Structures are given as C-alpha cells and as structure tokens.
Amino acid sequence: MATQKMLKFVSTPREMPEKRSAQERSEDFNEIYREFAEQKAAEQAGRCSQCGVPYCQTHCPLHNNIPDWLRLTAEGRLEEAYRVSQSTNTFPEICGRICPQDRLCEGNCVIEQSGHGTVTIGAVEKYITDTAWENGWVQPTAPKQERAESIGIIGAGPGGQAAADSLRRMGFQVTIYDRYDRPGGLLTYGIPGFKLEKDIVMRRSKLLEDGGVEYVLNCNVGEDISFDAIRGKHDAVLIATGVYKTRDLDIDNADAGGVVRAIDYLTASNKVDFGDDVPDFNDGELNAKGKRVVVIGGGDTAMDCVRTAIRQGAQSVKCLYRRDRANMPGSQREVQNAEEEGVEFVWLSAPGAFAAQGTVDTVRVRKMRLGAPDVSGRQSPELIEGADYDEPAELVIKALGFEPEDLPRLWGVEGLEVTRWGTIKAEFQTHQTSIPGVYAVGDIVRGASLVVWAIRDGREAAEAIADFLTGEARVAAE
C-alpha cells in the first residue's frame, strides 16, 4: 500500500511551490516562493524512489532521514513526518528555505541523476515544519530533569542556538551572549527576508527562550564582558561568533564615500525590514534608492546584495565577478532569481579603481579571461590588457567574503589556538578547542560556510559538552 504512493517520478513531473512574479516580488522583502498546498506536497514527496542507498541523506550534513519523511508526507502522516524530520535537524523549516539544495541533498537525488528532475526535498521539509508550527506540534523543551551545570554560549547564530537547544533538552542551564540586539546571527541580520522571513527566525529564538534558554543581548564579549568573566560564570563555554571581518580591495579610493561593506548594507536593510530606525539608511548612505549600484563579488552575499538593491528601488544593479557564470561560488538558482528581477551580471570583470569626488562616481572595470587552473583546480582569472572601461555608480557594495577576527588578541585569551587562516582550532566531532571546557562551532571554525553545517556542529558540540560535564558516555548525535 505504502509503495503505491511512492515512485511517482515517471508520471509526476518535478514542481517547486509557485514563485511570485519578478515584478511583484521586487517590490517587497517577503519570501519569493509560496507554500505547497497539502495535495501538492504529498504528490511531490511521492516522487521519491525510496532507493536502497539514499545519497540525498548522505549528502545532507545532518544526515536527515529524507526518504522516511518523504514517504510519511506522501501518506498524509504529517505529524509523524515532522517528528522524524526534527529529530536530526534543529531548524528544518530554515534549512528547507535556505540550504543550497542543488549542492547538497537534491543535487545527489538518484532520480535527478536519471534525468527525471530531483525530488523537491527542501520545499517538502519546509512544508512539513511550517505545518507543524501551524498545528501547534512545535513546543518548547521541557527537560525531564534539570541539571545544575551551566554553559555560556557566545553567539546566537544557528551554531550557538542549535547547541543551546540540544543542551536544554538534556536539562543543562544555558545562557547565550550576543552583541546584537536580536538573536539569530546571520539568519537575522545577514540573510534577507526574501530568502528567509524574519518572523520564522524570531519564533525559533522565542521557542528556545520559552524552553529556558537565557539570552543576554547587546553584550559584546571582549568589550562589555570579558571572556574570562564568562568562563568564571559557567562550567563550559561554547564560542559560536561567526566571521565578520570583510575582505577588502587594495585599489584607489577603496574607502571613498558610497563604497560600503556588504554586511553593513544588509544589516541596515534587515533592520529597516524589522521597522527599526536606521540613521545610515535614512541619510541615504546604505540605501540604493534611485542609484546606479555596482556589487563586487560572486557568492551568496553578493546575490543577496544585488536583490536587496533591486527591492530598494535602485536605478540599475550590476554585479561584477572576475570569473564566469560556471565558476561562481554563489547558487545558480539565486543567479536566475536575480536575473529575473533585473540584475545584470558582468562576468569576467574586476574593479581596477574607484573614481571619487567626495563620493564614488565611477568604477574602472578591468576585463579578465580564465587562464590555467591553480592548485585548487580552479581556473585563475587573468587580466586582458587595454580592455578597461568606466562604469558609472553612486553606490558600490563590496561582497568579497569574510575572515575571522583575531579572537585570542581581541579577548586577551592565552592558549586559544587558531589556524593559519585565523579560524579557531577545534577537534573534529567534539569541537573542543585547545582550552579544556571551551568549545567552538560554526563559521568561526570552518570559515564562511553554511547554516546547515553550523547546526550540525552545534548539535555535536552539545553532546561533547554534556560528556565533559557529566562524564557520562552518550550516543553521538548522528
């Protein structure tokens, strides 16, 4: 009976939830995909071939039990589907929205490999958990037994919050410190609402709070409280501070007025989306309205900047990237969305200088070609002499990637070892740093990465911290 509802990939074509028209979605910061209707979710889940070796599961960093929750969805057993899905993923509706599925689960779906189009795993995962929220199946943690030991977590992004959730479930006392005024890290202030609406992030933080997690916000560790003071207050500490130092350009007028950092630009836009009063937006500095905008970079951050500029009413938006479309790090799906919304990609192009009289007025664009592969196997861009031209721009957004801040120096911590890239050294799987009782997860260990990896790290670290505090061996998270 069960199998009758599955294996429909030959007769049922792949369908994503309906995407709002480019015209409509360019005028607001709401998500661009609508929700599946129940029938459609069941139909799409039923396309899964239930193959013996589920490569989707292997390539999901959380090893989600995807075939099982697809089958339960196809059978209309949504509460059970939700229970299975949330047992391995702390934030399934968030991953369903923003994981680059084409590189993870869906990119490895067997029916995709056989030319039938992948099962829309992310959209079904989102549907299951959104339905769970609507039906009241998502409830705050109520640990069976409270424990006295406390853990201080620095950083309320997905890594810190995933660890907090697991630790509270085990009954530990958890306090999260964050320098921002709202929890969520880049989920709140990096990723724009058109990919992930803010109430989705806030309701998760509230759920943790309702389950007993204490938040200390507007608290910059290293300034408002020392790292040593946090260590003194807690039995174990988890560092989950992400990476925020912007890679910069070494060219003329790189700091001219009108040349801004992506993180500042996106944070301001997200605050405006919350209804906050943002002076740097109000005075026009971080507002693209009416301007010719040039974004530099080819990753997810650049994609979010170009699409934010469109929604703010920019006159034109161009994205300069020094390699070509096939070699960009950002998701192809996001490039397509951006193009539909009116963004122009200028491939094989890099900035040579900015001309500015007070504020920027043009970008000198240097044309590139792809040369021989470098040690990583990627073709290096090479300059084409004499092909430069000037691109007019009133706002230039630098989205060249992020590096870790020098935490041992900033926090005055002796013995906290870092790698040669400045990321914190932490053991594989336990995530313990060079200081006993101090753990680290997410981007501050991996370098700029993905939400789903931060969640996995946080869940694993919680297990290791519990072992450390109780001396009890427990079953690993996966």
Residue numbers at the binding site for ligand SF4 (CB under 6 A)? 60, 62, 64, 66, 89, 95-96, 99, 101, 104-105, 121-122, 125, 452
- DSSP letters along 96-130, please? HHHS-GGGSTGGG-HHHHTTS----HHHHHHHHHH
The yes or no reply on residue 241 touching ligand FAD (CB under 6 A) is yes
CA-CA distance, 273 to 267, in Å (whole number)? 10
**Nearest CB to ligand SF4, comparing residues 64 and 166:** 64
Q: Can you name the residues that pair with 215 across neighbouring β-strands?
A: 176
**Nearest CB to ligand FAD, comparing residues 221 and 350:** 221
Query: C-beta of 88: minimal distance to ligand SF4 in Å?
Result: 8
**From ligand FAD, ligand SF4, none, interface partner of 186 (C-beta below 5 to 8 A by class):** ligand FAD
Q: Which two tokens stand for residue 233?
A: 């207050």
Q: Is 427 helix (H, G, I), strand (E, B) or coil?
A: coil
Query: C-beta of 31: minimal distance to ligand FAD in Å?
Result: 12
Q: Is 287 helix (H, G, I), strand (E, B) or coil?
A: coil
Residue 428 near residue 446 (C-beta atoms within 8 A)? no
**Nearest CB to ligand FAD, comparing residues 98 and 465:** 98
Query: C-beta of 242: minimal distance to ligand FAD in Å?
Result: 2
- Report the run of H or E that residue 438 belongs to, with start and end: strand 438-440
CA-CA distance, 305 to 296, in Å (whole number)? 10
Query: C-beta of 188: minimal distance to ligand FAD in Å?
Result: 7
Query: C-beta of 348: minimal distance to ligand FAD in Å?
Result: 23
**Nearest CB to ligand SF4, comparing residues 117 and 143:** 117
Contact residue for ligand FAD among 57, 118, 267, 301 (CB under 6 A) = 301
CA-CA distance, 472 to 353, in Å (whole number)? 59
**From ligand FAD, ligand SF4, none, interface partner of 125 (C-beta below 5 to 8 A by class):** ligand SF4
Query: C-beta of 441: minimal distance to ligand FAD in Å?
Result: 7
Query: C-beta of 96: minimal distance to ligand SF4 in Å?
Result: 5
State the alpha helices, DSSP H only, in 257-373: 262-273, 279-282, 300-311, 332-340
The yes or no reply on residue 222 touching ligand FAD (CB under 6 A) is yes
Query: C-beta of 90: minimal distance to ligand SF4 in Å?
Result: 10
Which are the contacts of 473, defined by CB distance < 8 A and separation ≥ 6? Answer: 467
**From ligand SF4, ligand FAD, none, interface partner of 66 (C-beta below 5 to 8 A by class):** ligand SF4
The size of the chain, in residues, is: 478
Query: C-beta of 325: minimal distance to ligand SF4 in Å?
Result: 23
Which amino acid, residue 287? N
CA-CA distance, 137 to 315, in Å (whole number)? 45
**Nearest CB to ligand SF4, comparing residues 308 and 331:** 331
Contact residue for ligand FAD among 149, 304, 394, 463 (CB under 6 A) = 304
**Nearest CB to ligand FAD, comparing residues 165 and 443:** 443
Q: Could you give phi then psi for residue 322, rounded to 5 degrees? A: -80, -15
The yes or no reply on residue 329 touching ligand FAD (CB under 6 A) is no
**Nearest CB to ligand SF4, comparing residues 69 and 189:** 69
Candidates 73-81, 124-132, 220-228, 373-381 — which segment interacts with ligand FAD by CB under 6 A? 220-228
CA-CA distance, 365 to 344, in Å (whole number)? 14
**Nearest CB to ligand FAD, comparing residues 368 and 445:** 445
CA-CA distance, 44 to 226, in Å (whole number)? 51
**Nearest CB to ligand SF4, comparing residues 105 and 317:** 105
Closest CA to 312 of 255, 362, 265: 265
CA-CA distance, 70 to 63, in Å (whole number)? 14
Residue 458 near residue 159 (C-beta atoms within 8 A)? yes
Strand 379-383 to 359-373 pairing = antiparallel
**Nearest CB to ligand FAD, comparing residues 304 and 394:** 304
Residue 77 CB coordination number (10 Å): 15
Q: Which two tokens stand for residue 101?
A: 């599925």
Q: Torsion-angle region of residue 288: left (phi > 0), alpha (psi -120 to 50) or beta? A: alpha
**Chain residues 415-454 in contact with ligand FAD, contact rule CB under 6 A:** 442-443, 449-452, 454
Q: Can you name the residues that pair with 438 across neighbouring β-strands?
A: 237
Query: C-beta of 443: minimal distance to ligand SF4 in Å?
Result: 17
The yes or no reply on residue 180 touching ligand FAD (CB under 6 A) is yes
Closest CA to 244 of 194, 291, 292, 189: 189
Query: C-beta of 299: minimal distance to ligand FAD in Å?
Result: 8
Stretch 137-176: interaction string toward ligand FAD, x if CB under 6 A: -----------------xxxxxxx----------------
Query: C-beta of 196: minimal distance to ligand SF4 in Å?
Result: 13
Stretch 86-125: interaction string toward ligand FAD, x if CB under 6 A: ------------xx--------------------------
Residues forming the site for ligand FAD (CB under 6 A): 98-99, 154-160, 177-180, 185-186, 190-191, 195, 220-222, 240-242, 266, 300-301, 304, 442-443, 449-452, 454
